[in-house]
C-alpha cells in the first residue's frame, strides 16, 4: 500500500475511522495517580511580557492547574491541569477575564474506550446498556454489540472516565471489564525477576516514569509484572527493558522478559463456555433423575411402583424426590435468571430472563402448591410440574452453551488475521558505513521504528517497512488475497504478515505495533463488527414490546383454557390423566412464555455482520461497518474514477514534441522545475521522463531551478515562475484560463493522441506553447470484465475524471462504460454523485486519490483502492486492499449475500415465533391432540438461537464471483 506525503514514516497505512483522543497519565512517585492533561490555546492582544505574566498568574491561582506558561511573542498558552479538579471551560473563562481574547481553543477532546459486557441475552439488553451509558455525563456516543458482547464508548475525559463508565454498566445489571482505552495504542507487558521487596518495584516504576514517551505504568505487585503504555515516536520496548535493567545496577540485578497475556476475548470466551458447560452438566445431574422418575418409571411397572409409596397422607416418594432434586436447579443453577430478571425489571424493561424466570417459577411454585395439598390431604391427587421447571432450565443452558460455541466461530477470521504476524524477527546492527556488525533474533514485540531487519526466504515480514537492500518476490495473499507474488526492491514497501518467497531482503521498520497495516485491518474489522446495521433496527423495535406481548399472550392462553375447561366448553376426556383444567391451562401458558423467547431475533443481524466483515477482510475487502454492508446491496450505479482506478495509475510519457525554438534540454529543465512540486501521477510521469532525457544528454545535476509563485489549478495543471519566466503545465482548460492560444499543429497533436486514449500535457512559457508531452496510462486488465459483470448484476457504470473528453471517451469505450463525465474537478465529482442520487439511485464511488475524497464521502458507498492515499481510505466505507477492481464486485456481492442471510435469519427467528406460539398455546390440541410441554418448548427455543448463529456461519463458505487472474 503506497503512502503519500512527507510524514511517510509516521502515517499509518490504514487510518482508524474513529479518532482516538489519547489520555496522557502521569503518575506521582508516591503512588497517587493524577491524570494530568495538557491544554494548548492562543491568547491574542498581548503586547509585552507583563501581559503574559498577568495571564499566567491568573491561571496558576486556579485549583487543579499544575503549570501555566504563556509566550507573549507567539501568543500561545500551555496549561497542564487535573481534569478531576478543574475543567477546560473554567480555564478558558479565567483567561478571558484577564482582558485578552482566547482563540483556537480546543472545545472538546474525545477519547474512546472498549469494554466487555457480560450477561446480555437479547437486543433489549444491549439497548438498556446503551441507554445507561448515554445517561453518563460526558459520554458522547455509545455503541453496544450484542454478538460481540462489547461496548465502544466515545467520551470527554475532562468530564468522565472509564471507571464511571464501567460503574454505569454494572448499575444497569451487567458485568463490565475494560478491554482498551486511548492509552493502549502502544503497550508492552514485561515479567520482572530479581524483585526482593516493595522498594524494588518503586525503583522500577520511577525509572520508567522518568522516560520521555512513557504514558502510563501499571504494576502487578503480586505477580511481579509491569505493563507500560508508550509513544512509539519517542521510545520503544527495548529501551524500556534496558532502563529497568540499568535501574538495578548497584542495587540488585533485575531480569526482564516479555510477557504475552492471553487475549481478553479468548479468555472470556473460554470462561463463558466452561461456565455454561458446567452449569448444564450440573443441571443434567439433577434433571435426568427427575425426568426418569416422572416420565419413564411410572410407565414401567413394577420398577416404578416404589415411587408411589406414601410418606405422609398423599405425599409419595416420587413427589418428594422430585422436589428435592428440582430445588437446587431452580434456585442455585438457575440463579442467573433471577439476577438478570431483577436488573431488567429494575430498568423497566423485559428480556429473555424475565420469560424464563416467570415460566419456571410458575411451574415450580404450582408444584409446591400440589405438594402441600398432598401433604395435608388424605384423598387429593394432582400432577406436579417439577420436571418442567428442571428440564426447562437444562435445555436453556444447553442452548446457551451451543450458542456460545457457535458465536466463537463468528470471529475466527479476526483470529486468523492476528495470527499472521510472526513471533520472531532478525535484527541487524549496522555501523555508519552500512556494514553489518551483528544480527540477533528478537521477539517482534521488541521491534522499534527505524530498526533494520533481515527477512530470509520463507520468512514472514514482522512489521511494515521499506526495503533498503536486496531483491525478492513477496507473497501478499495473506493480506490481499492476491496469489501472484509481488516483486520487491529498494524503496518498495512491505506489509506485516506477508511471506518473502525467494531472495533475502533488508528492510527498515516504518510502522510497528498497532500502527501496522495488519493491526489497522484488525481494528477496522472489529469496529465494523461492533457497528449496528440499520436493518437491526427492526429487531430493536420488535424487542421493545415483544416480551410484554408474550407475557400477556401467555396469561391470556392460561386464562382462556382454564375458563373453557371450567365452563365445559371442551370435553373432559381432552384433559390428560392425573391433570385438571387448571394444570392443562398452566402448561399451555408456560409453553407460550418459553417458546416465544426473542433471543434468535437479536442474533439475526450482528452474527451475520461479524462473519461477513471477517470473511471480507480475509478476501481483501475491508467493510467499515454494518451500515456500509447494508447500503452496498442496494447499489444501482457504480461511479469510477479513471487514473489509478480504471487505469494502472502509473502513467508514462510516450512522446514529447517542441512547438517553439526552445531547446529540448531547457524545455525539460523548466518543466521539471514547475512540476516537481506536483503530486499528480501524470505530473510525476512528466518529471521522470524529463529527468531521463536530461540524464541521457549528460545533464547530471540533481537540483533544478526553484519555482516561484507555484500554484495548483485543480483538474487543470500547475503554474509558476522559473527564472522570471511564467510557465504553465497542464491541459487545454488551463491554457484557456490563461488565454494561451493553441495553434493548428498543437490542436492536431492533441487530437491525434486523444484518439489513442493518451493525455496531453501542454507546456506554455510566457504565454506561448513551447511543447507538449503525450502520456498514457494503461487500463487495468480486469476493468472491462468488472464493468461487464456489474452490468449482469443490473448495476450501471459511470466514469468521472478530470482528464480531457477525448481520452476519457476512449478509455470508457475500451472498458465498456458508455456514460462518461470528463474535465471534472473534485467538487464537480461530488456534485455528479449527488445529481445521480437525486434520481433515486444508490450510488457507489470507486476512487483512489485525494481528489476523489469529496465524491467518496458524498456517495452512498465509497470504495477506496487500497494503494491509494490515506485521505481516500479514510473517507471510504469500503477499502479494496489489493487494488483490484474485481473486489468492487466482491464487495457488492458479499453485501447482497449477507443481507439475504440476515433476512433468512429473520425468517428463522420471527417465523419460528409466529408458528411456534399458536402451537404452544394449544391451537392444534383440539384437532390432533398435539401439545408442546414446557420442557420441549425450552428445547425448541434454544434450537432457534443456535439455528440462527449456524445460518450466519454459512457465510464462511462465501466465494468470490470473479476470480483474480494473473496477467
- The whole-number average pLDDT for the span 887-898 is 91
* Span 822-839, pLDDT tens digits: 878 777 888 888 888 888
Question: 149: which 3 cell numbers?
Answer: 458482547
Q: Residue 30: pLDDT above 50?
A: no
Q: Which of 242-256, 564-578, 783-797: highest mean pLDDT?
A: 783-797
**Higher per-residue pLDDT: 431 or 22:** 431
Checking if the pLDDT of 349 tops 90, the result is no
- Per-residue pLDDT tens for 572-607? 888 776 667 887 888 888 788 777 766 667 677 777
Q: How many CA atoms lie within 13 A of 918 on its CB side?
A: 7
| CA separation, residue 802 to residues 169, 170, 641, 857 (Å) | 52, 55, 9, 18
11, three cell numbers: 502515517
Q: Which three cell numbers stand for residue 678?
A: 506536483
Does position 72 have pLDDT exceeding 50, yes or no? Answer: yes
**Is residue 417 within a helix (H) or strand (E), and if so which, with residue range?**
helix 412-418
Q: What is the pLDDT of residue 871?
A: 53
pLDDT over 90 at 440, yes or no: no
Higher pLDDT pick, 252 / 183? 252
Mean pLDDT of all residues in 740-762: 86
Q: In the prediction, which pLDDT does 855 show?
A: 83
Do residues 517 and 130 lie in contact, with contact meaning Cβ atoms separated by under 8 Å? no
257 vs 738: which has the higher pLDDT: 738
H helix intervals, 816-911: 826-837, 853-858, 870-875, 886-906
Backbone phi and psi for residue 964, each to the nearest 5 degrees, phi listed first: -70, 130
The label of the residue with cell 446503551 reads 130
Specify the DSSP class assigned to residue 230: E
3-state secondary structure 290-316: HHHHHHHHHHCCCCCHHHHCEEECCEE
pLDDT score, position 21: 28
Q: Name which of 412-426, 571-585, 669-683, 783-797 the model is least confident about.
A: 412-426
**Rounded CA gap, 279 and 393, in Å?**
10
Which range, 570-584, 614-628, 748-762, is most confident?
A: 748-762
> Contact 80/118 with Cβ under 8 angstroms?
no
Q: Pick 909 or 967 by higher pLDDT.
A: 909
| Averaged pLDDT, 130-145 | 86
pLDDT of residue 865: 81
CA dihedral 68, 72, 77, 80 (to 10 degrees): -20
pLDDT digits (tens, 9 = 90+) for 380-423: 666 677 877 787 788 778 777 776 776 666 555 556 666 677 88
Query: Residue 647 carries which DSSP code?
Result: B
% of residues, the chain, pLDDT over 70: 82
Q: Is the pLDDT of residue 521 over 70?
A: no
Give dist(CA 439, CA 773) in Å, integer: 49
Residue-level pLDDT at 205: 83
Amino acid at each position: 500500500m503506497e503512502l503519500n506525503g512527507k510524514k511517510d514514516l509516521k502515517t499509518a497505512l490504514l487510518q482508524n475511522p474513529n479518532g482516538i483522543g489519547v489520555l496522557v497519565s502521569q503518575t506521582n512517585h508516591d503512588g497517587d495517580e493524577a491524570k494530568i492533561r495538557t491544554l494548548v490555546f492562543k491568547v491574542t492582544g498581548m503586547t509585552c511580557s507583563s501581559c503574559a505574566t498577568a495571564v499566567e498568574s491568573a491561571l496558576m491561582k486556579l485549583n487543579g492547574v499544575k503549570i501555566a506558561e504563556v509566550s507573549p511573542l507567539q501568543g500561545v498558552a500551555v496549561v497542564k491541569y487535573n481534569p478531576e479538579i478543574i475543567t477546560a471551560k473554567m480555564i478558558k473563562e479565567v483567561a478571558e477575564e484577564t482582558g485578552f481574547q482566547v482563540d483556537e481553543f480546543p472545545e472538546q477532546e474525545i477519547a474512546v474506550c472498549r469494554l466487555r459486557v457480560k450477561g446480555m441475552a437479547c437486543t433489549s439488553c444491549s439497548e438498556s446498556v446503551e441507554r445507561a451509558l448515554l445517561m453518563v455525563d460526558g459520554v458522547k456516543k455509545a455503541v453496544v454489540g450484542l454478538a460481540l458482547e462489547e461496548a465502544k464508548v466515545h467520551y470527554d475525559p475532562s468530564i468522565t472516565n472509564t471507571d464511571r463508565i464501567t460503574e454505569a454498566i454494572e448499575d444497569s445489571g451487567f458485568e463490565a471489564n475494560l478491554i482498551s482505552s486511548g492509552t493502549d495504542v502502544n503497550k508492552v507487558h514485561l515479567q520482572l525477576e530479581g524483585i526482593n521487596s516493595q522498594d524494588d518495584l518503586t525503583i522500577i516504576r520511577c525509572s520508567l516514569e522518568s522516560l520521555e514517551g512513557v504514558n502510563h505504568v501499571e504494576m502487578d505487585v503480586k505477580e511481579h509484572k509491569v505493563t507500560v503504555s508508550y509513544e512509539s515516536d519517542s521510545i520503544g520496548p527495548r529501551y524500556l527493558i534496558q532502563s529497568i535493567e540499568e535501574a538495578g545496577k548497584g542495587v540488585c540485578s533485575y531480569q526482564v522478559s516479555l510477557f504475552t497475556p492471553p487475549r481478553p476475548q479468548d479468555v472470556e470466551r473460554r470462561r463463558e463456555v466452561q461456565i455454561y458447560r458446567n452449569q448444564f452438566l450440573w443441571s443434567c445431574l439433577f434433571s435426568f433423575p427427575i425426568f426418569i422418575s416422572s416420565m419413564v418409571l411410572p410407565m414401567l411397572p413394577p420398577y416404578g411402583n416404589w415411587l408411589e409409596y406414601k410418606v405422609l397422607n398423599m405425599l409419595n416418594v416420587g413427589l418428594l424426590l422430585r422436589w428435592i432434586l428440582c430445588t437446587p436447579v431452580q434456585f442455585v443453577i438457575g440463579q442467573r435468571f433471577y439476577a438478570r430478571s431483577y436488573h431488567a425489571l429494575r430498568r423497566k424493561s423485559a428480556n429473555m430472563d424475565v420469560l424464563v424466570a416467570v415460566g419456571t417459577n410458575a411451574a415450580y411454585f404450582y408444584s409446591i402448591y400440589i405438594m402441600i395439598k398432598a401433604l395435608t390431604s388424605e384423598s387429593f391427587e394432582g400432577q406436579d410440574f417439577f420436571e418442567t421447571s428442571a428440564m426447562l432450565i437444562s435445555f436453556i443452558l444447553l442452548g446457551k452453551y451451543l450458542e456460545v460455541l457457535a458465536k466463537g466461530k463468528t470471529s475466527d477470521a479476526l483470529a486468523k488475521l492476528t495470527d499472521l504476524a510472526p513471533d520472531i524477527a532478525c535484527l541487524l546492527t549496522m555501523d555508519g558505513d552500512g556494514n553489518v556488525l551483528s544480527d540477533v533474533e528478537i521477539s517482534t514485540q521488541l521491534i522499534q521504528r527505524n530498526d533494520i531487519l533481515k527477512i530470509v526466504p520463507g520468512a514472514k515480514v514482522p512489521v511494515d517497512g521499506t526495503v533498503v537492500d536486496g531483491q525478492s518476490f513477496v507473497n501478499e495473499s495473506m493480506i490481499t488475497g492476491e496469489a501472484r507474488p509481488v516483486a520487491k526492491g529498494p524503496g518498495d514497501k512491505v506489509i506485516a504478515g506477508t511471506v518473502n518467497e525467494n531472495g533475502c531482503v533488508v528492510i527498515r521498520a516504518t510502522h510497528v505495533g498497532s500502527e501496522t497495516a495488519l493491526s489497522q485491518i484488525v481494528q477496522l474489522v472489529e469496529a465494523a463488527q461492533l457497528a449496528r446495521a440499520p436493518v437491526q433496527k427492526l429487531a430493536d423495535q420488535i424487542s421493545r414490546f415483544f416480551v410484554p406481548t408474550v407475557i400477556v399472550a401467555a396469561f391470556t392462553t392460561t386464562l382462556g383454557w382454564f375458563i373453557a375447561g371450567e365452563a365445559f366448553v371442551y370435553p373432559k376426556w381432552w384433559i390428560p390423566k392425573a391433570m385438571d383444567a387448571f394444570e392443562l391451562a398452566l402448561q399451555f401458558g408456560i409453553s407460550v412464555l418459553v417458546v416465544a423467547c426473542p433471543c434468535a431475533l437479536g442474533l439475526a443481524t450482528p452474527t451475520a455482520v461479524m462473519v461477513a466483515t471477517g470473511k471480507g477482510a480475509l478476501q481483501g475487502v475491508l467493510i467499515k461497518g454494518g451500515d456500509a454492508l447494508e447500503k452496498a446491496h442496494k447499489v444501482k450505479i457504480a461511479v469510477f474514477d479513471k487514473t489509478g482506478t480504471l487505469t494502472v495509475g502509473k502513467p508514462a510519457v510516450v512522446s514529447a514534441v517542441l512547438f517553439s525554438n526552445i531547446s529540448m534540454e531547457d524545455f525539460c529543465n523548466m518543466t521539471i522545475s514547475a512540476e516537481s512540486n506536483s503530486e499528480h501521477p501524470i505530473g510525476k510521469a512528466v518529471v521522470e521522463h524529463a529527468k531521463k532525457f536530461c540524464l541521457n544528454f549528460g545533464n547530471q545535476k540533481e537540483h533544478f531551478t526553484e519555482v516561484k509563485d507555484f500554484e495548483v489549478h485543480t483538474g487543470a495543471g500547475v503554474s509558476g515562475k522559473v527564472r522570471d519566466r511564467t510557465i504553465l503545465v497542464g491541459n487545454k482548460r488551463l491554457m484557456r484560463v490563461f488565454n494561451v492560444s493553441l495553434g493548428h499543429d498543437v490542436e492536431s497533436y492533441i487530437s491525434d493522441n486523444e484518439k489513442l486514449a493518451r493525455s496531453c500535457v501542454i507546456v506554455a512559457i510566457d504565454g506561448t506553447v513551447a511543447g507538449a508531452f503525450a502520456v498514457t496510462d494503461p487500463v487495468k486488465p480486469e476493468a472491462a470484465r468488472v464493468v461487464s459483470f456489474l452490468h449482469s448484476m443490473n448495476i450501471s457504470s459511470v466514469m468521472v475524471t478530470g482528464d480531457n473528453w477525448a481520452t476519457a471517451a476512449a478509455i470508457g469505450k475500451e472498458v465498456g462504460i458508455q456514460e462518461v463525465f470528463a474535465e471534472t474537478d473534485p467538487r464537480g465529482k461530488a456534485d455528479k454523485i449527488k445529481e445521480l442520487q437525486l434520481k433515486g439511485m444508490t450510488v457507489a464511488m470507486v476512487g483512489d486519490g485525494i481528489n476523489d475524497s469529496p465524491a467518496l464521502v458524498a456517495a452512498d458507498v465509497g470504495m477506496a483502492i487500497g494503494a491509494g492515499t490515506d485521505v481516500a481510505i479514510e473517507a471510504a466505507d469500503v477499502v479494496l486492499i489489493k487494488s483490484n477492481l474485481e473486489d468492487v464486485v466482491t464487495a457488492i456481492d458479499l453485501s447482497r449475500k449477507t443481507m439475504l442471510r440476515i433476512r433468512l435469519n429473520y425468517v428463522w427467528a420471527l417465523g419460528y415465533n409466529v408458528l411456534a406460539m399458536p402451537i404452544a398455546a394449544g391451537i392444534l390440541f383440539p384437532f390432533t391432540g398435539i401439545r408442546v410441554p414446557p420442557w420441549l418448548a425450552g428445547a425448541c427455543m434454544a434450537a432457534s438461537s443456535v439455528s440462527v448463529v449456524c445460518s450466519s456461519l454459512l457465510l464462511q463458505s462465501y466465494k468470490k464471483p470473479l476470480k483474480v487472474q494473473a496477467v
